[in-house]
Structure 1
Amino acid sequence: MATKGLTLLFWVFFVHLAGIYLYTRGFLLTRLALSDVNRCDDGKCTLPPTHKRAVVLIIDALRFDFLSPNPPEPISPYHHNVITLPQELTAKQPTRSFLFEMFSDPPTTTLQRLKGITTGSLPTFIDMGSNFGGSSISEDSFIGQLNAAGKKIAFMGDDTWTTVFPHSFDPNMTFPYDSFNVEDLHSVDDGVVENLFPLLEGRETSWDVAIGHFLGVDHVGHRLGPDHPTMKVKQSQMDDVLRKVVDLLDNDTLLVLLGDHGMDRKGDHGGDGDHETSAALWVYSKGPQLLHAKAAIPEHLLTTRLFPGATVPNRHIQQIDLAPTLSLLLGLPIPFNNLGTVIPELFWHDKAGKDYTRALTLNAQQIKGYLDTYRASPSGAELDSAWEQLERTWQEVNLDVKAKDQDAKWQAMTAYTREALAVCRMLWAQFNVSLIGLGLTLMLTGTIAATLLYLKLGGLQDKWEDWTSEVGRWYVASMFSGALLGFVGYITVSRYVKGLGLVECLLFGSALASSLVVIASAPPSFSGIITLRSLASIPLPLILHALVFASNSFTVWEDRVVTFLLITSIIPFARFGFTAPTSRLRNRILGFSALFALCVRLMAVSTVCREEQQPYCHVTFFASSSLPSPPPLVLWLCMPAAIALPWVIKRFLKISQSDKGSASIMLTSILPLALLLGSGYWVLEHFDSSDAFGPEMNSTLRWTRTLSARLSMGGVLFLGYALWWLVPLCLKISTGSKPDPSAPGQTKREVTVVGFANAYGAPYIIFWSLFLALLYPAIQLTGQLTLALAAVAVLAHLEVVDSVRDVQGLEAVFSSGNPSAILKPDALQSTSTSIRFSELTPLALLAVHAFFATGHQAAIPSIQWKAAFVLTPTLTYPLSPLLVTLNTLGPHFLIALAAPLLALWNVAPLPQPAADVRVRRDAARAGLGMMLYHATLLLSSAMCSAWLRRHLMVWKIFAPRFMLSALTVVAVDLAVLFGVGVGIGHVSRSASKLFAAMNPK
Structure 2
Amino acid sequence: MATRGLSLLVAVFLVHLAGIYLYYRGFLLTRLSLPDITACQGGSCTITPSHKRAVVLVIDALRFDFVSPHPPKPPSPYHHNVLVLPQELTASQPSRSFLFEMFSDPPTTTLQRLKGITTGSLPTFMEMGSNFGGSSVTEDSLVGQLRAAGKKIAFMGDDTWTTVFPDSFAPNMTFPYDSFNVEDLHTVDEGVIEHLFPLLQDKGAPWDVLIGHFLGVDHVGHRVGPDHPTMKTKLTQMDDVLRRVVDVLHDDTLLILMGDHGMDRKGDHGGDGDHETSAALWVYSKGPQLVHPKASIPSFLLSTRVFPDATVEHRHIQQIDLAPTLSLALGLPIPFNNLGTVIPELFWHDKAGKDYTRALSLNAMQVKRYLDTYRQSASGAELDKAWSELERIWRTVNFEAHTKDVEAQWLAMTMYTRNALAACRMLWAQFNVGLMRLGLILLVTGTVAATSLYFKLRALEAGWQEWTLEARRWYLSSAVGGALFGFVAYLTVSRFVKGLDFAESLLFGAAAMLSLVIIASSLPSLSNIRPSLTSMPLPLILHAAAFASNSFTVWEDHVVTYLLITSIVPNILVGFTAPTARLRLRILAFSALFAICVRLMAMSTVCREEQQPFCHVTFFASSSLPSPPAPILALSIPVALGLPWIMRRFLRISKSDKGTATLVLLGLLPAVFLLGAAFWVIEHWDSSEQFGPEWAGVLRSARTWCARVAVGLVIFFGYALWWLVPLCLEISSEAKQDGGKREVTVIGFANAFGAPYMVFWSLFLGLLYAATQLTGQVVLALAAVAILAHLEVVDSVRDVRGLEAVFASGNPSAILQADELRTPVIPLRFSEITPLALLAMHAFFATGHQAAIPSIQWKTAFVLTPTMTYPFSPLLVMLNTFGPHFLVALAVPLLALWNVPPLPQPQADIKARVDAVRAGLGVMLYHGTLLLSSAICSAWLRRHLMVWKIFAPRFMLAAVTVVVVDVAVLFGVGVGVGRVTERVSKLFAAMNPDKAKK
| TM-score (normalised: structure 2) | 0.68
Matched, 1:907 2:900: yes
Q: Does the 8 Å CA contact 1:152/1:207 hold for their aligned counterparts?
A: no
Alpha-carbon distance between aligned partners in 2 of 1:641 and 1:662, rounded to the nearest angstrom: 22
Residue number in structure 2 paired with 1:480 = 480
Partners of 1:580 and 1:711 in 2: how far apart? 48
Cα deviation per residue 1:568-625 (whole Å; 9 max; x = unaligned)?
0001001111111111111100000000000000000000011110111110000001
Structure 2 contact 779–847 (Cα < 8 Å) conserved: yes
Give the match for residue 437 of structure 1: 437
Identity among equivalent positions (%) equals 64
- Cross-structure match for 1:89: none
Counterpart residue number, 1:29: 29
**Cα distance in structure 2, aligned partners of 1:384 and 1:625:** 47
2:793 to 800, 814, 839: 800
- Cα RMSD for the two superposed structures: 4.4
What is the match of residue 579 of structure 1?
A: 577
Q: Judge conservation of contact 2:841–2:885 (CA < 8 Å) in 1.
A: yes
Cα distance in structure 2, aligned partners of 1:866 and 1:897: 25
Structure 1 equivalent of residue 8 of structure 2: 8
Letter of the 1:851 partner, please give it.
F
Unpaired segments ≥5 residues, structure 1: 52-104, 173-205, 210-247, 261-318, 372-382, 387-416, 741-745
Deviation at 1:747, TM superposition (A): 3.5
Provide closer, same or farther for how the CA distance between residues 327 and 430 of structure 1 changes in structure 2, counting only shifts above 3 A. Answer: farther
Q: Deviations over 1:510-545 (max 9, x none)?
A: 00011111112235452221x154x43100000000
Write the deviation string for residues 861-888 of structure 1: whole angstroms up to 9, x where unpaired: 0000001000000001110000000000
Structure 1 residues 958 and 259, CA gap change in structure 2 (3 angstroms):
farther
Match of 1:753 in 2: 746
What code does the residue aligned with 1:569 have? S
- The equivalent of 2:694 in structure 1 is 696
Q: Distance in 1 between matches of 2:360 and 2:561?
A: 64
Aligned in 2, Cα 1:584/1:823: closer, same or farther, shift over 3 Å? same
Retained in 2: the 8 A contact 1:151–1:208?
Answer: no
The answer to whether the aligner puts 1:947 opposite 2:964 as a matched pair is no
Q: Is the 8 A contact 1:758 1:907 kept in 2?
A: yes
- The residue aligned with 1:224 is none
Aligned partner of 1:962 in structure 2 is 955
**Matched residues in 2 for 1:32 and 1:863: separation?**
28
Separation in 2, partners of 1:208, 1:832: 87
Deviations 1:333-361 (A, max 9, x none): 66768445999xx99x999xx97999599
* Alignment pair present for 1:168 and 2:280: yes
Residue aligning to 2:964: 971
Where does structure 2 lack aligned partners over 5 or more consecutive residues? 52-104, 144-209, 212-241, 243-252, 265-271, 306-317, 381-416
Are 1:121 and 1:320, in contact at CA under 8 Å, matched by a contact in 2?
no
User: 1:456 maps to what in 2?
Assistant: 456
SS at match of 2:528: helix
Aligned equivalents of 1:564, 1:335: Cα separation in 2: 55
Give the drift of 1:256. Answer: 3.6
Q: 1 CA distance for matches of 2:942 and 2:959?
A: 17
8 Å Cα contact 2:852/2:953 also seen in 1: yes
Tell me, in whole angstroms, the C-alpha distance in 2 between the residues paired with 1:208 and 1:773: 63
Amino acid at match of 1:884: V
1:543 paired residue among 541, 544, 553 = 541
Matched, 1:500 2:504: no
Change (3 A) 1:20 1:571: same
CA distance in 2, matches of 1:792, 1:341: 55
What is the CA distance between 1:48 and its match in structure 2?
A: 3.7
Aligned-partner residue type, residue 510 of structure 1: A
The 3-state SS of whatever aligns with 2:280 is coil
SS of match in other structure, 1:834: coil
Q: 1:773 is matched with which residue?
A: 766
* Residues 514 and 593 of structure 1, relative CA distance in 2, 3 Å threshold: same
CA distance in 2, matches of 1:337, 1:693: 53
Letter in 1 for 2:808: S
The structural deviation recorded for 1:128 is 3.0
The one-letter code of the counterpart of 1:822 is: I
Contact 2:791 2:898 in 1 (8 A): yes
Given that 2:861 and 2:876 are in contact with CA atoms closer than 8 Å, whether structure 1 keeps it comes out as yes
Work out whether 1:844 is the aligned partner of 2:832.
no
Contact 2:142 2:327 in 1 (8 A): no
Check whether the contact 2:334–2:366 (CA below 8 A) recurs between aligned residues.
no
Aligned runs of 1:853-864 on 2, under 5 Å?
853-864=846-857
- Partner-residue secondary structure (3-state), 2:582: helix
Kindly state the Cα deviation for residue 127 of structure 1 after the two structures are TM-superposed.
2.8
Q: State yes or no: 1:994 paired with 2:987.
A: yes
Aligned to 2:814: 821
Q: 2:480 touches 2:510 (CA, 8 Å); kept in 1?
A: yes
Query: Structure 1 524/982 Cα, relative in aligned 2: closer, same or farther at 3 Å?
Result: closer
Equivalent AA in structure 2 for residue 955 of structure 1: W
- Partner residue in 2 for 1:281: none
1:511 aligns with 2:507: no
The CA deviation string for residues 10-33 of structure 1, in whole angstroms up to 9 with x for no partner, is 000000000001111111134699
1:687 is aligned to 685
- Shift of the 777–532 alpha-carbon distance from structure 1 to 2, 3 Å rule, reads closer
Task: Give 1:125 shift.
Answer: 1.2
Q: Distance in 2 between the 1:427 and 1:998 partners? A: 71
Residue 778 of structure 1: CA displacement?
0.5
Q: Shift of the alpha carbon at 1:471?
A: 1.9
Q: Cα gap change, 1:510/1:749 in structure 2, threshold over 3 Å: closer, same or farther?
A: same
Letter in 2 for 1:676: L
For residues 955 and 575 of structure 2, what CA distance do their matches in structure 1 show?
39
Aligned position for 1:553: 551
Superposed CA deviations along residues 52-74 of structure 1, whole A, max 9, x for unmatched, are: xxxxxxxxxxxxxxxxxxxxxxx
- Supply the AA of the counterpart residue of 2:499: G
Residue 673 (structure 1) aligned with residue 671 (structure 2): yes
Moved more, 725-734 or 494-503: 494-503
In structure 2, distance between residues paired with 1:254 and 1:867: 48
Does structure 1 residue 784 correspond to structure 2 residue 777? yes
User: Contact 2:324–2:338 at 8 Å: present in 1 too?
Assistant: no
Q: Deviations over 1:432-481 (max 9, x none)?
A: 11111111110001000100000111111121111111122111111100
- Deviation string, structure 1 residues 248-299 (Cα, Å, up to 9, x no partner): 9955558448999xxxxxxxxxxxxxxxxxxxxxxxxxxxxxxxxxxxxxxx
1:910-929 matches, within 5 Å, as: 910-929=903-922
Distance 1:161 1:831 in 2: 57
Q: Match of 1:751, SS?
A: strand
In 1, Cα distance between equivalents of 2:283 and 2:649? 60
**SS of the residue 1:747 aligns to:** coil
The separation in 2 between residues aligned to 1:704 and 1:634, in whole angstroms, is 21
Give how far 1:851 is off.
Answer: 0.2
Matched to 1:564, the amino acid is: Y
How far apart in 2 are the matches of 1:851 and 1:869?
20
- Alignment partner for residue 884 of structure 2, among 891, 907, 913? 891
- 1:494 Cα shift? 2.9
Query: TM-score, normalized by length of structure 1?
Result: 0.67
The aligned counterpart of 2:925 is 932
Alignment of 1:645-656 (within 5 A): 645-656=643-654
Q: 1:527 aligns to what?
A: 527
- The alignment status of 1:127 with 2:127, answered yes or no, reads yes
What pairs up with 1:1-400 in 2 under 5 angstroms?
A: 1-30=1-30, 46-48=46-48, 120-128=120-128, 149-150=254-255, 163=275, 166-169=278-281, 250-251=295-296, 255-256=300-301, 338-340=337-339, 359=362
Q: 1:803 to 1:48 in 2, by over 3 A?
A: same
Partner of 1:709: 707
Query: Which digits, 9 at most, give the CA deviation of each residue in 1:72-125, with x for residues without a partner?
Result: xxxxxxxxxxxxxxxxxxxxxxxxxxxxxxxxx999xxxx99997996313211
Where 2:527 maps in the other structure, the secondary structure is: helix
Change (3 A) 1:357 1:561: closer
Q: 2:776, 2:847 within 8 Å by CA — same for their partners in 1?
A: yes
Q: Which amino acid aligns with 1:861?
A: P
